[in-house]
Amino acid sequence: MTSLAILEKETALKPTGAAGQTAPATGSVQVRDLEHTYDASGRTTKALEGIQLDIAPGRFVVIVGPSGCGKSSLLMMMTGLLRPSSGTILCGGRPMTEPDPDVVGVVFQEASLYPWLTAQDNVEFPLSLRRMPKAERAKRARDRLALVGLNGFEDRYPHELSGGMKQRVSIARGLVQDPPILMLDEPFAALDEQTRISMGDELLRIWERTGKTVIFVTHSLTEAAYLADEIIVMSARPGRIIDRIEVDLPRPRTYEMMSTPRFAELRERIWSQIRTQVVE
């Protein structure tokens, strides 16, 4: 495949950068020779194979692939929550052998907010783990809630918020420590179509305001084409990267772009890649 050749050329061009520097982490992400196998019911399964990734700071990268391809696992490895069998992952130049909230903020699928905490306290949670003084973390959390458009909702409990609002709180929580990288694991999968689109716009707005590197996993091709600078397409298990697509749609993205031929072309290209995987 041509795309793979391109990938190899790229990895060859970029030498592995300065790892383990003490300087403030940047938003770059590098994955080298990542493989993952696991044992389940007496059988060894290869989940991920030969993953190489280079993501420059400030990029909006979307990972798509057929279900079960390991895209969520790959993301969890990049957050440091899961250990790959082999290979290295550097986020902001730091090896991600365990979660590092200074570098990576994580937004999970729905229901990851603590139901016993208010929106404000949920956003403060990461800061309170590090014993930041109450006044300072309250201010930071309020700022982040305002950033995601939720001022006035600080004292609401999750069950008093709509699905979209809950995910806004999750995004605010992911950004509260001001990490250079934000990773989102199918964050809008449980939302209805309309809310999903408006949340996408919201995320793009936040991304443009903050300049974070965003890595976004989804199974929605429309979402991928609408949001991304670059789309990474994965194969069925064992998950490999089979295509990298630069999205040249202008920014800011608008709803109308979804009906342009270029958008359809993009979706078609992703779909043709994924379809071959699904059929098999």
How far apart CA 90 and CA 179 sit, in angstroms, is 14
Instruction: State which residue, 37 or 195, has the beta carbon closest to other proteins.
Output: 195
Residue 17 in contact with other proteins, rule: CB under 8 A: no
Q: CB-hemisphere CA count at 13 Å for 127? A: 25
Judge whether 225 and 247 are in contact, CB under 8 Å.
Answer: yes
Rounded to a whole number of angstroms, the minimum distance from the CB of residue 146 to other proteins is 15
Among 49, 56, 88, 125, binds other proteins (CB under 8 A): 125
What CA–CA distances, in Å, run from 229 to 63, 119, 129, 235, 269?
A: 11, 31, 34, 20, 15
Selected range binding other proteins among 13-21, 35-43, 135-143, 153-161, rule: CB under 8 A: 153-161
Instruction: State which residue, 156 or 269, has the beta carbon closest to other proteins.
Output: 156
Residue 191 in contact with other proteins, rule: CB under 8 A: yes
Among 25, 28, 108, 234, binds other proteins (CB under 8 A): 108
Instruction: State which residue, 17 or 99, has the beta carbon closest to other proteins.
Output: 99
Residue 106 in contact with other proteins, rule: CB under 8 A: yes
Instruction: State which residue, 15 or 152, has the beta carbon closest to other proteins.
Output: 152
Look up residue 16 and give its DSSP letter: -
**Considering only CA atoms, which of 39, 34, 44 is closest in space to residue 83?**
34
What CA–CA distances, in Å, run from 84 to 98, 212, 275?
A: 11, 25, 27
Instruction: State which residue, 66 or 179, has the beta carbon closest to other proteins.
Output: 179
Write the DSSP string, 173-214: HHHTT--SEEEEESTTTTS-HHHHHHHHHHHHHHHHHH--EE
Among 116, 133, 246, 261, binds other proteins (CB under 8 A): 116
Judge whether 171 and 203 are in contact, CB under 8 Å.
Answer: yes
| Residues numbered 204-263 forming contacts with other proteins, rule: CB under 8 A | none
Q: Angle at CA 246, nearest 5°, toward 241 and 251?
A: 140
Instruction: State which residue, 106 or 236, has the beta carbon closest to other proteins.
Output: 106
Selected range binding other proteins among 17-25, 48-56, 61-69, 102-110, rule: CB under 8 A: 102-110
Strands annotated E in 66-200 = 86-91, 94-95, 104-107, 181-185
Instruction: State which residue, 177 or 213, has the beta carbon closest to other proteins.
Output: 177
Selected range binding other proteins among 66-74, 108-116, 136-144, 208-216, rule: CB under 8 A: 108-116
The mark string for 34-53 relative to other proteins (x by CB under 8 A, - otherwise) is --------------------
Q: What share of the chain is helix, strand, coil (3-state, %, to 5)?
A: 40, 25, 40
Judge whether 106 and 142 are in contact, CB under 8 Å.
Answer: no
How far apart CA 246 and CA 59 sit, in angstroms, is 11
Instruction: State which residue, 50 or 164, has the beta carbon closest to other proteins.
Output: 164
Contacts with other proteins, residue ranges (CB under 8 A): 79-81, 99-101, 104, 106, 108-109, 111-112, 114-116, 125-126, 129-130, 156-165, 168, 177, 191-192, 195, 198-199
